[in-house]
Structure 1
Amino acid sequence: MSLFPVDPVTPPATPAALRELIENRRSVRRFTAEAVPDDVVRDCLELAVLAPNSCNLQPWSFQVIRDPALLARLHPICMSQNAAKAPLIIAVLARPDTWKQACQNIIDYWPEPEVPARIRNFYNKTAPFQYNQGPFGLLGLFKRQLLRVAAWRKPLMRAPNSRAQMRIWAVKSTALAAQNLMLAFQSHGYATCPMEGFDEVRLRKTLDIPREALPIMLLAVGRQDAKGVYNPRLRFPLEQHVTWL
C-alpha cells in the first residue's frame, strides 16, 4: 500500500503530444536576449517539483539567476560557452543534506486534516534511521555491517548507507526534476541547455552554494536564436541499450 494519498485519475496527454514535446526538445547553444517572464519560470518550477522522488523527501533546490551582472560573472565560469549567454540560468542543486527537515515537512504540510499514524511513524522513525549516516558516517558504517548479516535471511534495501550513497540518492531524484523542468520550458516555447561544463569551485563562491549541496547542472533558458542547435540529433540504435527478458 502506498504511503501517500492517490489523486483521482485524470485523462493522460496523448502519446503523440508527448512525443512531439520530447522530440522538439534539443540542447540549444545560442539564445536571443528576450527575457523569460517570471510567471513562466514559476510555472515551470512548479512542474519540476512534481517529479517522482525518493520517499517524497524532495532532495533538490534551485537558484534562479536573472541579474545581468551575475549572469556576466557566470559566463567565464561556464568555460565561456555560448549557452551561458542565455538570459536566464537556473542552478539545479541536489541536496543530500535536507532529509531531516524534509521528514518534518511531510508532517507539517500533510494535505489532510489528520496525519495517518503510518505516515507519522515512517517519517519520525523509519526514514530518520534510513537516511541518517551519523557523525563522520559512522552510523552508516554500522548499518552496512548490520545489513550484511540481516540480508542472509531476506532481501533488504541496502542503500543509502554512506555519505557517498546519499549523494547518489539525491542526484537521482534531482535529475528527474531537471527533466521535468526542461520539458516544462519546452511546452512554453522556451529552449534549454543543461550545462555540466563549469568550474565548480568558482561557481560555489559566486552563487554562495551551501557546502553539502551538489550542483548537478546549470540550466540555460531562453528563446532559441538562429543556429542555436549545432548538429542533427544522434542517438545510438535502441538495440544497443535494451534487453528484453
Structure 2
Amino acid sequence: MTSFPTDEPVAQASPTALRALIESRRAVRRFTAEPVPDAVIRDCLEMAVLAPSSCNLQPWSFQVIRDPALLARLHPVCLGQNAARVPLLIAVLARPDTWREACDNILEYWPEEQVPAPVRAFYSGTAQFQYNQGPLGLLGLFKRLLVRVVGLRKALMRRPNSLAEMRIWAVKSTALAAGNLMLAFQSHGYATCPMEGFDEVRLRKVLDIPRRAIPVMILAVGRQGERGVYNPRLRFPLERHVSWL
C-alpha cells in the first residue's frame, strides 16, 4: 500500500466507546419488519467507504435492496435463511475490474487544488503497471517472472500479478469496508447479519451484478427481532491466534 505524507492530525476515539460498540455487534438472524430510513443507510455507507484500501483504489461497490418484491426473490437465493427475511439487504461486491477508473478518479477528485507530483506520477504510471494484468492475464505472467529476477536483489511488492490475485486484492479491501458498514449500522441501533450462504449463480440472475464483480457477502440489516441471536458468543482464546515477537 502506497502512502503520501500529510500534516492532517489523527483523531482519537474513546477506547471504551469503541469496545462497547464492537462488543454489542452480533450476527442477528431474526428481524422486525421496521424499515431502515434512507438517511441512516446513506450515513452508514459513507462510513463504510472511509475504510482503508490498497493504494486507496477503493475496489468495492454496494447494491442496496429495499423493494419488497426483490427482497422476496432473494430469500430463496439466500437458501431460505431467517436472516434474509429483512427490510434491507445490501450486496457487498468486490471490484477487481475498476482499478483503472479508480486511478483516474483519484487524480480527478484530489482534495487539493493541485495534485502533488509524486501522486500524479504514481497513479498515472506506477499503478497503471502494478495492477494491469493484460489480456488473459499474460502481462501478469511476465510480471511474475520479472519479480523473481528483480526480487533476488531487493525487497519489492510481489502481488497482485495475476487475475486470481487481483480478486484476492479486491476482496481484502472490500472486507474492510464491510466491517465498517456493520459497525456503522450498529451505532444507529440496527442489527446486521453478514451472509455468505447464497447461490451466486441465482444471485446474478436476480441482481444486475457486473460480470467481474465478486459478491463478498449479502448483508441483512434491520431492527433485531425476538430470539434474533441464536447462541452465546464464542471466540477462541487470544493465545491461539497471536504471536508476540
TM-score (norm 2): 0.98
User: Which one-letter code corresponds to 2:140 in the other structure?
Assistant: G
Can you list the C-alpha shifts for 1:35-58, whole angstroms capped at 9, x where unaligned?
Answer: 000000000000000001000000
Q: Residue 120 of structure 2 aligns with which residue? A: 120
- Alpha-carbon distance in 2 for matches of 1:160, 1:209: 23
Q: Residue 158 of structure 2 aligns with which residue? A: 158
Count of residues in correspondence between the two structures: 244
Report whether the alignment pairs 1:66 with 2:53.
no
- Alpha-carbon distance in 2 for matches of 1:190, 1:240: 32
Identity, % of aligned pairs?
Answer: 76
Residue 6 of structure 1 deviates from its aligned partner by: 4.6
Q: Residue 86 of structure 1 aligns with which residue? A: 86
Check the 8 A contact 2:3/2:55 in 1, yes or no: no
Q: Closer, same or farther in 2 for the Cα pair 1:89/1:4, shift >3 Å?
A: farther
| Partner-residue secondary structure (3-state), 1:3 | coil
Report whether the alignment pairs 1:30 with 2:30.
yes
User: Which one-letter code corresponds to 2:9 in the other structure?
Assistant: P
Q: Which runs of 5+ in 1 are unaligned?
A: none
Q: Residue 224 of structure 2 aligns with which residue? A: 224
Check the 8 A contact 2:61/2:95 in 1, yes or no: yes
User: Which one-letter code corresponds to 1:3 in the other structure?
Assistant: F
Residue 7 of structure 1 deviates from its aligned partner by: 2.6
Can you list the C-alpha shifts for 1:132-181, whole angstroms capped at 9, x where unaligned?
Answer: 00000000000000110100001111000000000000000000000000
Computed over aligned residues only, the root mean square deviation of the Cα atoms, in angstroms, reads: 1.0
Q: Residue 183 of structure 2 aligns with which residue? A: 183
Report whether the alignment pairs 1:9 with 2:3.
no
Q: Which runs of 5+ in 2 are unaligned?
A: none
Structure 1 runs of 4+ with >3 Å offset: none
User: Which one-letter code corresponds to 2:189 in the other structure?
Assistant: G
Residue 4 of structure 1 deviates from its aligned partner by: 5.8
| Partner-residue secondary structure (3-state), 2:183 | helix
User: Which one-letter code corresponds to 1:91 in the other structure?
Assistant: A
User: Which one-letter code corresponds to 2:155 in the other structure?
Assistant: P
User: Which one-letter code corresponds to 1:8 in the other structure?
Assistant: P
Q: Residue 214 of structure 1 aligns with which residue? A: 214
- Alpha-carbon distance in 1 for matches of 2:5, 2:75: 42
Residue 13 of structure 1 deviates from its aligned partner by: 1.6
Residue 2 of structure 1 deviates from its aligned partner by: 3.4
- Alpha-carbon distance in 2 for matches of 1:241, 1:187: 28
| Partner-residue secondary structure (3-state), 2:216 | strand
